[in-house]
Structures are given as structure tokens and as C-alpha cells.
Amino acid sequence: MTTAVRNQELSMSAALNRALADALEADERVLVFGEDVGPLGGVFRVTDGLTARFGEHRVFDTPLAESGIVGTAIGMAMNGMRPVVEMQFDAFAYPAFEQITSHLAKIHNRTRGRVELPVVIRVPYGGGIGGVEHHCDSSEAYYTHTPGLRVVTPGTLGDAYQLLRDAIDSPDPVIFLEPKRRYWSKGPVALDRSGPAMDRALVRRPGKDVTLIAYGPMVATALETAAAAAEEGWDVEVVDLRSLSPFDDETVTESVRRTGRAVVVHEAAGFSGYGAEVVARVTERCFHHLHAPILRVTGFDIPYPPPKLEEHHLPGVDRILDAIARLQWDDEVVGFGG
């Protein structure tokens, strides 16, 4: 079997499944484990069929103990393995947070580079599935604030495959955030690795009036907004960050300097959210190119709401269009850099 099979019609969960299967086949050091990832195939069926194909010694279930899962992965990685573990749901990962921040993220630095920890932690994150308490969260800012971790999130079907393959091959620990509301989206997927490096952002839609900066589950929403904005006369560029840490300053600032306006979109809470860092970095580098302050469209500063209220919490096309409309389009208004 080869990983160069192109343009298959797959869902995002199926693309991730293929990435895991191809990685397991390519490198016998790769292991996949977590809660219910074995015969059941995972809550979202991302690991479906992998135990039957590769055996219980390589794809196996663990006790319901997230700290133990990550601690085990750290020990395995220190001894030459390449573990890929699943946290099942975003808010389930918090019991493992001490292992992640105190050990996984720091051992390479503590050993002056002598010990590598090629561990991938897969975290289904975000809302949009009507999940009950503890089943929906957006915890990306916790991980990006932790030096020593790579944090990536696919916003497209193709990136689901490529980014996961790249994450598994990385010598660094990677927090791999999977937008659970996009698991069932379908389309043609190129099952190859010819795309840009894991730490590069991509312009998903070119435009000249304003840059929409999004990632993970909000990429599709940003593209939908750009199409709607065209009917209002705005030519919107969409940048998919892909890598949250490290951050691709070059691609993002190049876009904003061309358009002169920007809106950052994410579904996590706004206060101290990841978008605040994006706004700060872009403002520092693009201040004299801006015609208006950079705006954010985010979730509200509340815990994820119950399923019946979730649609009001998650940023949608109308809220993003409202932000674009507030970007000082009147030529008589003096902008930042004019």
C-alpha cells in the first residue's frame, strides 16, 4: 500500500484514519492508544479497523486515566517509540495537563536536546455537535502558551491527512487538535504529502479588501463568509493558520499588509483567547499598513453552553459579516496607518 493514492472521496474522520494507518504501516515504532480506540474504533470512528489490521500490540485500549495515558506515552517515546494517543474529548484532557506541561513539553529542554519526545496527542475539540457538559471546549490557548509543544489543527480534508502524517514524523511533541464538528464533512482528498510544511499558514481564498484569519473548525465558516461578503461588494482573503504554534508570521503579515484590514475568528472565548495573540503580532508588524483596528469574532466569555444554545455561541457568517462592516470603510475616516 502506498500513501500516494490521490483524490479519494473521504470524510475528515476517514482521512485521519488513513493517515494513522499509513503511519502505522510505514514505521513499526508508531503506536496508537487511548480510551476506546481499539475494537470500537474510537467515539468518532477515527481508529476504526486499525486494531484488526495491526494487532492489539500496536493499537489498543487504555484505562480511563488521561494522566496515565500521556505518562505512558512519554515513557515509550523516551525509549524509542512514536506514540499517538487520543484524549477522546477536549475537556477530558485536563487530567493530563500536568503531564503535558511539566514533562512532555519540557524534557527536551531539560536534557539539553539529548532526549526527544515524538508524541502526538490527538484532541477532538470545539463545538457544533450538541455535546453535553465536558464534551465541548476550545482549549488551544492553554497549549500554545506552553513552550516546547507544537500545536496544529486541520481546517480542510487534505490537511487532516497531511498534517497528521507530518505530526507523527515530527521529533517534537505535537498537540493535534481535530475539529470534531468537521469529522463528517466529505470531499476529494489527496492522500499524499506534497503540501507545505506543517508550520506554514495557507491562503485558502485570495482577496484584496480584508483578511479573515481562521483555523480549525472556523476555516469552513470563514470561506462561507467570504462568499457571502462578495455579494456585499467585499473581496475577502481567507488565511488558514494550520499551525498555531509556531506561528507563521510571514504569510499572515504579507496578507494583512496587502489588504490593510483583518478579522480574526475562533470559537474559543475572546478574553485571553488565541486571537488576542494573533492581533498583537499582526498589529506590531503591520501597524502602518492598517486602515482600521483588527477585530475579533469569538465565542462568548462563558463555558460552552447547552446544545440548544450552542448555535448562538459559535461564530457564524452573520457575526463575521458584521465585524467586516465595522472596519472603517468610509474613506474620510482616518485609519491607523492610512
What percentage of the chain has pLDDT greater than the value 70?
A: 96
Domain for residue 337, yes or no?
Answer: no
pTM over 0.75: yes
Residue where one domain finishes, among candidates 191, 219, 249: 191
Decide if 335 is inside a domain: no
Q: Is 301 within the bounds of a domain? A: yes
Domain boundary among 191, 215, 243: 191
Active site residues: 135
- Identify any residues that bridge with 203 across adjacent strands, giving them in sequence order: 239
For position 4, what pLDDT does the model report?
47
Domain assignment of residue 156, yes or no: yes
Q: What is the pLDDT of residues 228-261, one digit of tens each?
A: 999 999 999 999 999 999 999 999 999 999 999 9
Residue among 238, 281, 267, 262 nearest 335 (CA): 262
| pLDDT in the model for residue 331 | 58
49 and 112 part of one domain? yes
CATH number assigned to the domain comprising residue 79: 3.40.50.970
Reduced DSSP (H G I as helix, E B as strand, rest coil) percent helix, strand, coil of the chain, to 5:
40, 20, 40
CATH of the domain at 296: 3.40.50.920
Lowest mean pLDDT among 26-40, 120-134, 145-159, 313-327: 120-134
Cβ neighbours of residue 209 closer than 8 Å, sequence gap 6 or more: 234, 235, 236, 237, 259, 261
Q: Do 215 and 181 belong to one domain?
A: no
Last residue of a domain, one of 161, 191, 221: 191
Tens of pLDDT, residue by residue over 177-211, are 999 999 999 999 989 888 899 999 999 999 999 99
Per-residue pLDDT band for 6 (boundaries 50, 70, 90) equals low
Domains held by the chain: number: 2
* Whether residue 82 sits in one domain with residue 179: yes
Nearest to 233 by CA among 336, 327, 335, 334: 327
**What does the pLDDT look like over 63-81, one tens digit per residue?**
999 999 999 999 999 999 9
Cα Rg, the chain, nearest whole Å: 20
Q: Which of 265, 264, 259 is nearest to 280 (CA)?
A: 264
Task: For residues 163 and 242, state if they share a domain.
Answer: no
Q: Which domain holds residue 163?
A: 5-191
| pLDDT band per the 50, 70, 90 thresholds, residue 130 | confident
